[in-house]
Amino acid sequence: MSMLRTAAIRSARANARPAVMLSRPGAVIRPAPRFYSSHPDPHTNPTGNTNWFVGSLIIFGPLLFYLTSPPASKKQHGHVDHTPSLVHKIEDAVAVVKAPAKPYVLVGSGTASFAAAQAIKEQEPNANVVIIGNESVPPYMRPPLSKELWFSDDASASETLRFKDWQGNERSAVYQDISEYEIVTDLANINKESTKIKLLLQKTVTKLDVEAHTVELNDGQTIEYNKVLLATGGSPKQLPNQSGVKNVTTFRTVEDLRKLDAIAKKDAHIVVVGGGFLGSELAIALAHRAKKEGLKVTQVFPEDGNMANVFPTYLTKWTTGRVKDEGVEIKSKHSIKSIDGAEGDKVKLTFDNNESLEADHVVVTVGIEPRVEVARAAGLEIDEQRAGVVVNAELESRRDVFAAGDMISFHDIQLGRRRIEHHDHAVLSGRHAGENMVGKNKPYKHQSMFWSDLGPKIGYEAVGLVDSQLSTVSVWAKASDADTPAAAVSQPENLRGVDVQDIKSSEEQPAPSSNKQPGNASEGTVFKDEQFGKGLVFYMKNKKVVGVLLFNVFGKVQEARDVISNQTSVEQIEQIVSK
């Protein structure tokens, strides 16, 4: 959007400052005293030390020269010194044997680990890389599990994990076929180099010993590592009294997808608990299935509407209306008081207003808890506020211990310390950690984006801090048929249309997007229901833009990043919006 580019340029100009002079005419630059970590005070240089040093040099100087100077060349009369070298004798006597390569161990078999493995292999093709995961399938992307796979006409899509994106291109949720990995069944050969990534399935790391450089598996076996990556993601949160109640599940893995897919093929009433990203996507997906299978879909959450923790109030109301239009029964402002089994394998939900309903199945989508138990037990620092493993700018928690993805608390150079649970962050933090594991030592500066689709007609992308508690400035216009998630797939601006294997650098910027410009305020910003077709929402903190939501506006993520990095002010945004 031209408005985004204008905001970025104006902010950059407004923030420009003259260079700071580091010296002045006539100033005397004096060498600073040297400080050493062994003592807080500067080291002194008494005269006695100087005299001692000079005396020592006179006495030991000739000996030092003798010991360090190269042997004299003996080329008199054309003769060559054939005296055997002591070094050569030692080399001849001792055969040099290359030690087995300790592996790069990647704990967790999700997107971050796969991206890290790719980065390591690009730098060291024969590197010994081992991914350890507790699932039965190789690494895969999670977004299609609640989106495109439900819109497939192929009844076996949940088994094959193949789907068509919104533009009709066939893709797989699995990053690469299992045949392309070296499947590890015996740890005896774990230290052998391989051109393939090694994959250890259905195993869990239960212990990390930072000093010994080892990880212990749930079967008691240990693996000694060269460097280790923790990318264990998170576990779905549960309702307080959910445990033990039949037909109540969470939704995060391929196994969860397959279970729900089997249930959704019957004439059933399914309740989705949660009004955030995952819950709203899944409710829309099930409603699409309901049109063919005769399902009843209800979505329950305590907020005022869908995405209430992210969107401004007016946009929350509009979005909730669109979800209802898809056939989802919405129960907003409903907090669950209890969840119990009922007659005939039903599930009974009782709400805080004493209402109740019964369903055949309940899916709980109320967020995740980062898996930090192993890290905590190993003595790694945990950010208790954000519940993530604390990492430095290079995504390292301790020496030779890196971390990436949903589970890390990292410092965003523009927005402060954060923990992010989105695909883009998992990909690029994983790649960055992998590059640093092989010695790149680069700081992580990526301003990650996220996206969500409420079916093929409504989609949004966002960068930075997007929180409904922040003040916002917005601009809206009517959308055309081209302003849909399908348009986003064709844009190389973000990762929704890009395979992880095709990303060659954690800092690589996507190719320029198309020149199609969405409408702006001058085309009529009328706050009516039908007018929220496409638009921009700028989130403000301390009168600066800290987040941008692009609603049915695609291919403009980099411009949104520029607006944030340039610390665009609310006055600058308001000036542009008012034109």
For the segment 440-463, the average pLDDT, to the nearest whole number, is 89
Residue matched to tokens 């993805």: 405
Q: What's residue 530's pLDDT?
A: 53
Report strand pairing: 458-464 vs 544-551. antiparallel
Report strand pairing: 227-230 vs 104-107. parallel
C-alpha distances in Å from residue 425, one per residue of 52, 430, 491: 60, 8, 18
Q: What's residue 298's pLDDT?
A: 98
pLDDT tens-digit series, residues 143-197: 999 999 999 999 999 999 999 988 889 999 999 999 999 999 999 889 988 899 9
Parse the chain into domains and list their residue ranges.
104-140+175-235+369-437, 248-366, 448-577
Q: In terms of pLDDT, which residue wins out, 68 or 534?
A: 534
For the segment 106-112, the average pLDDT, to the nearest whole number, is 98
Residue matched to tokens 């990043």: 561
pLDDT higher than 50, residue 47: no
Q: In terms of pLDDT, which residue wins out, 500 or 84?
A: 500
- What tokens does 402 get? 């890196």
pLDDT tens-digit series, residues 388-419: 999 999 999 999 999 999 999 999 988 999 99
**pLDDT band with cut points at 50, 70 and 90 for residue 507:** low
pLDDT higher than 50, residue 45: no
Same-fold call for 104-140+175-235+369-437 versus 248-366: yes
Torsion of Cα atoms, 205 then 207 then 209 then 210, to 10° = 70
pLDDT > 90 in the chain, percent: 62
**pLDDT band with cut points at 50, 70 and 90 for residue 13:** low
Measuring CA to CA, which residue among 327, 330, 324, 305 is closest to residue 316? 305
**pLDDT band with cut points at 50, 70 and 90 for residue 79:** very low
Which CATH superfamily, name and number, covers 104-140+175-235+369-437? FAD/NAD(P)-binding domain (3.50.50.60)
Residues 6+ apart with CB under 8 A from 575: none
pLDDT higher than 70, residue 96: no
Global pTM value? 0.78
Measuring CA to CA, which residue among 305, 270, 303 is closest to residue 285? 270
**pLDDT band with cut points at 50, 70 and 90 for residue 495:** low
Q: In terms of pLDDT, which residue wins out, 577 or 570?
A: 570
Q: What's residue 233's pLDDT?
A: 96
Is domain 448-577 in CATH 3.30.390.30, yes or no?
Answer: yes
pLDDT tens-digit series, residues 328-370: 999 999 999 999 999 889 999 999 999 999 999 999 999 999 9
Q: What's residue 346's pLDDT?
A: 94
Q: What's residue 539's pLDDT?
A: 96
Q: What's residue 478's pLDDT?
A: 78
Least confident of 203-217, 252-266, 284-298, 493-507: 493-507
Q: What's residue 216's pLDDT?
A: 98
For the segment 370-397, the average pLDDT, to the nearest whole number, is 97
pLDDT tens-digit series, residues 236-282: 999 988 888 999 999 999 999 999 999 998 789 999 999 999 999 99
**pLDDT band with cut points at 50, 70 and 90 for residue 46:** very low
For the segment 434-456, the average pLDDT, to the nearest whole number, is 91
CB 573 within 8 A of CB 7: yes
Task: Give the chain's mean pLDDT.
Answer: 81
Q: What's residue 3's pLDDT?
A: 60
Q: What's residue 373's pLDDT?
A: 97
Fold of 248-366: FAD/NAD(P)-binding domain (3.50.50)
CB 402 within 8 A of CB 396: yes
